[in-house]
Chain A
Amino acid sequence: MINQLPFVGVEFVDNPEPRCPCVLLLDTSGSMRGQAIAALNQGVELLAEELNADPLARERIELAVITFGDEVQVIQDFVSPAAFMPPRFEADGNTPMGRAVLAGCEVLEERKHAYQSAGVNYFRPWMFLITDGEPTDYNTDMWRKAVELTRQAEASRNFIFYGVAVNDANQSKLNELCPPHRLAQKLRGLNFGELFSWLSCSLRSVSLVNPGVTRPILPPITDWALVKA
């Protein structure tokens, strides 16, 4: 059963395309019970479907899913959309947001090492946080470390952090993690479908036509965001 395969790098031999890793940090705390978690489930399925439909995105984008509720769990390590099986989320527990961000950063660092040792390029990774409450580890070291990491990441162009607040989320605390030019947006109702549709468009446009501007041009967020007039 044991062939001569190395630890990692197997998937880079027959697909050496530059990768765009995307970590989804999803709040599955008790407050998401009911409609919210069902809509979230559907949204993630939609994301996988849309990414799968685009042949270039299918080869380039890699998704990882980390949920934080009862505990911070890496539900899915980085995988291509074609092999992604959308997990079923269940809502239960607190909101250890700081720890989730730290877990996301760890998983991302590991993946970057894999890319570097396999000699594969990667675009600036995405970290996408969806929450509907406030961080229960707010005053701990972990939260402070998470805030520091996201600030550093923006400064050194390490990854793009995007926060989305749902329902009664504490937006000011979420904004501590977000960079000043990309503050957290509030989701209109439970429009996860449109949110994930926007995310798939943005991920696909990362490597697209770009007339020399350094920041990625994202599609407009008005489809899903509650934009105050």
Chain B
Amino acid sequence: MNSVYDDTGRAFRVGQPWAHGGEGVVSCLEESDGLCIKTFLNPLDRAQEQRLRLLCTKAASLTNVAALPRSLAYADATRTKVIGIIMPLVRGRSVFELYNTHTRLTSFPKANFRFFIETANNLAGAFAMLHKNDIVIGDVNERNIEVLPDATVRLIDCDSFQIADHDHVFTSNVGTPLWIPPELQGKDLTGIQRTPNHDRFGLAQLIFLLLFAGRHPFAGVPRGAISLSPEEAIRLYAFAFAPECLGLPLAPPPACPSLTALPPGIQHSFLRAFTKGSELPGARPTADEWQAQLTQLCTNLTVCTQQPNHLFWNGINFCPWCGIIRETGINIFPVPATKTASSIVAPVTTDYLISLHKLVAYPFQAQRPSSFVVTPAPLPPAPSGFWNFIKRFAMPIRWRYRWLTHALREEQRIHISARAAVRRSLHEQNAIIAAYHEEFQHARAALSTRIPPLSVLEQTIQNSDQHRYFQQQLTICENRLHSAQQHCAQRLQTAQAAAEVAAQQRDQANANILNLIKHLRNDSRQPLTKLVPVLSTNAGHK
């Protein structure tokens, strides 16, 4: 398969493979820098061939927005057997490498928010041009759109575009699960005729991904107990960034800008595109409307005062990207010069060892409460009432004895319960400390499941991704331990305070008991235990 021929009979030599797909292999063509050939794995059927021929007729006018096939490719000069298509080669990167922060730092290191808006604008322009030429894209997804370094976009994988002949519509028949509009989710797409309104769902989703640094519009924190799969979320129109009053099952995720950080026009466009009612024809914003709004947004950007690389709409007075730094410590738009992948140097293993060694449990200890010096309380008031009055004068000694022993019993009860409370709080403190140590062990164990043992780390870490990952995991572990330590300290404080209160009560009760015993002893000359049987139950002990 080294020579292929196009519609005019011109011969090309097939060069190096460029990409592999499910349907075929894309290879460069020698002596022709701008063109490449896609060789199909399976032979084409008549409908597909006709569709490709139709697309060839539109190729010239749409060359700036889509890599439409220029001509069919034949195995030999007689042009009988179609083996592929010849189309312009697009040297760009997929759009997901742009909106995903992680990949963007290597693929598009200089991209800032304005670059995103310009790319979104050009994307809307591409869609507009295709729709004007009566082509419906059908299968919009993140791999079909290439972004060039100057923010222009080209659509690739054009062989499933929907195009109409005078008597027949060649339908798209395929779709990617996360990009199929809600009204088509779950359906068999063979033979379904797509409309520009369906495409606009994909367009709105792409613009959302670009403006929100890779956050998916239908990914959020579930409001109820049930979690939704991505396809279900789309089918239920569960736009996660919609205002709460709409009562949708998903809430916005943490650590990302809210919808209100964009102009009201764009907010409204997203709501039109994603919520219920968008399935009606003409409901979703058209590509032209998006272009107008994005062009306006581009002229209304301010620079953040804290970070020179942060740009945001001037209608709000705080930087949403700095908000993310505050919440998570991560800068989505770092200054380009310092944060390229190659500048992250692999750490010396001793740094790592030092950090690991610092992960020790804090030596908490249960504290016994201090003893208090208390003055004994005055004697309790004498019981009143008519009978008591009589008893007081009829048998004063017995009456006084009864009164004091009653008070003594009360104090004893208090003393016993206070002592039990102190003991309980000591147990509780020990339990809290044990729980802290357990949490410490868990955190260390979790860390050891995510990073390899030190013996493996003797070899240098292979790439900056691994370094970054280990650093992250180490920091997560440290934070977890720090937080556990604080939690433990708080709980210990509460338990100790309770212990102190109980101890004071206990000591007060003790003093009162001693005082009462003194009074009882003064009243009588008999040995105390005979007089007051209750004293044998070790009252007066600490």
- Partner-B contacts on A (CB < 8 A): 1-18, 55-56, 59, 74-77, 79-80, 82-83, 85, 87, 112, 116-124, 157, 207-214
B175 interface residue per 8 A CB criterion = yes
CA distance A212 to B222 in the complex (A): 25
**Neighbouring B residues of A119 by C-beta, 8 Å:** 219-221, 240, 250-254, 256
* B53-61, B121-129, B461-469, B501-509: which lies at the interface: B461-469
B230 interface residue per 8 A CB criterion = yes
CA distance A14 to B99 in the complex (A): 10
**Those of B229-260 within 8 Å (CB) of chain A:** 229-230, 233, 240, 250-256
Q: A18-B216, A56-B142, A209-B175 are in contact. Are A4 and B482 (CB under 8 A)?
A: no
Q: Contact at B190–A75, with CB atoms within 8 Å?
A: no
B176 interface residue per 8 A CB criterion = yes
B48 interface residue per 8 A CB criterion = no
Q: Contact at A211–B174, with CB atoms within 8 Å?
A: yes
**Neighbouring B residues of A213 by C-beta, 8 Å:** 188
Q: A83-B466, A121-B230 are in contact. Are A16 and B175 (CB under 8 A)?
A: no
Q: Contact at A83–B253, with CB atoms within 8 Å?
A: no
The 8 Å CB contact of B450, one of A77, A112, A121, is A77
B6 interface residue per 8 A CB criterion = no
- Show 18 residue pairs from A and B whose CB-CB distance is below 8 angstroms, ordered by the A residue: A1-B355, A4-B329, A9-B328, A10-B476, A14-B330, A15-B214, A55-B94, A59-B100, A77-B446, A79-B450, A119-B221, A119-B250, A157-B229, A207-B176, A207-B178, A208-B176, A209-B141, A212-B186
CA distance A8 to B466 in the complex (A): 17
Q: Contact at B480–A85, with CB atoms within 8 Å?
A: no
Q: Contact at B190–A15, with CB atoms within 8 Å?
A: no
Q: Contact at B476–A209, with CB atoms within 8 Å?
A: no
B63 interface residue per 8 A CB criterion = no
**Neighbouring B residues of A121 by C-beta, 8 Å:** 178, 216, 218-219, 229-230, 233
Closest-CB distance, B194 to chain A (whole angstroms): 13
**Neighbouring A residues of B240 by C-beta, 8 Å:** 119
CA distance A53 to B479 in the complex (A): 33
Which A-B residue pairs are the 8 nearest by beta carbons?
A119-B253, A83-B469, A14-B101, A82-B465, A212-B188, A121-B230, A121-B219, A77-B449
C-beta contact mask, B317-355 vs A, less than 8 Å → 1, else 0? 000000010111110100000000000000000000001
CA distance A76 to B453 in the complex (A): 11
Question: Looking across the interface, which residue of chain B has its beta carbon closest to that of A83?
Answer: B469
CA distance A11 to B358 in the complex (A): 24
The 8 Å CB contact of B469, one of A13, A16, A79, A112, is A79
Interface of A is mostly: loop
CA distance A66 to B329 in the complex (A): 31
The 8 Å CB contact of A211, one of B97, B189, B222, B326, is B189
CA distance A152 to B255 in the complex (A): 34
- Partner-A contacts on B (CB < 8 A): 22, 94, 96-97, 100-103, 139, 141-143, 173-178, 180, 184, 186-190, 213-216, 218-222, 227, 229-230, 233, 240, 250-256, 324, 326-330, 332, 355, 358, 446, 449-450, 452, 456, 462-463, 465-466, 468-470, 472, 475-476, 478-480, 482-483
Q: Contact at B222–A5, with CB atoms within 8 Å?
A: no
CA distance A2 to B175 in the complex (A): 45
Closest-CB distance, B466 to chain A (whole angstroms): 5
Question: Looking across the interface, which residue of chain A has its beta carbon closest to that of B461?
Answer: A85
The 8 Å CB contact of A16, one of B216, B355, B446, is B216
Closest-CB distance, B451 to chain A (whole angstroms): 8
**Neighbouring A residues of B456 by C-beta, 8 Å:** 85
CA distance A112 to B186 in the complex (A): 24
CA distance A13 to B320 in the complex (A): 13
Beyond the given pairs A10-B328, A210-B175, 15 more chain A to chain B contacts, judged by CB atoms under 8 angstroms and listed by A's residue number, are: A1-B475, A7-B480, A13-B332, A15-B100, A16-B219, A17-B100, A18-B219, A56-B142, A59-B100, A76-B450, A82-B466, A82-B469, A83-B465, A119-B251, A211-B174
CA distance A139 to B482 in the complex (A): 43
The 8 Å CB contact of A7, one of B94, B230, B452, B476, is B476
Residue among A3, A5, A77, A79 facing the most chain B CB atoms (10 A cut-off): A5
CA distance A21 to B254 in the complex (A): 21
CA distance A75 to B456 in the complex (A): 13
Question: Looking across the interface, which residue of chain B has its beta carbon closest to that of A6?
Answer: B328
CA distance A14 to B331 in the complex (A): 9
Q: Contact at A2–B219, with CB atoms within 8 Å?
A: no
Q: A5-B328, A83-B469 are in contact. Are A59 and B102 (CB under 8 A)?
A: yes
Q: Contact at B468–A83, with CB atoms within 8 Å?
A: yes
Residue among A16, A117, A207 facing the most chain B CB atoms (10 A cut-off): A16
Closest-CB distance, B542 to chain A (whole angstroms): 43
**Neighbouring A residues of B355 by C-beta, 8 Å:** 1
Q: Contact at A17–B230, with CB atoms within 8 Å?
A: no
CA distance A75 to B446 in the complex (A): 10
Residue among B173, B177, B470 facing the most chain A CB atoms (10 A cut-off): B177
**Neighbouring A residues of B327 by C-beta, 8 Å:** 6
Q: A7-B480, A56-B142, A211-B189 are in contact. Are A74 and B100 (CB under 8 A)?
A: no
CA distance A104 to B456 in the complex (A): 24
CA distance A120 to B178 in the complex (A): 13
Q: Contact at B97–A209, with CB atoms within 8 Å?
A: no
CA distance A74 to B451 in the complex (A): 11
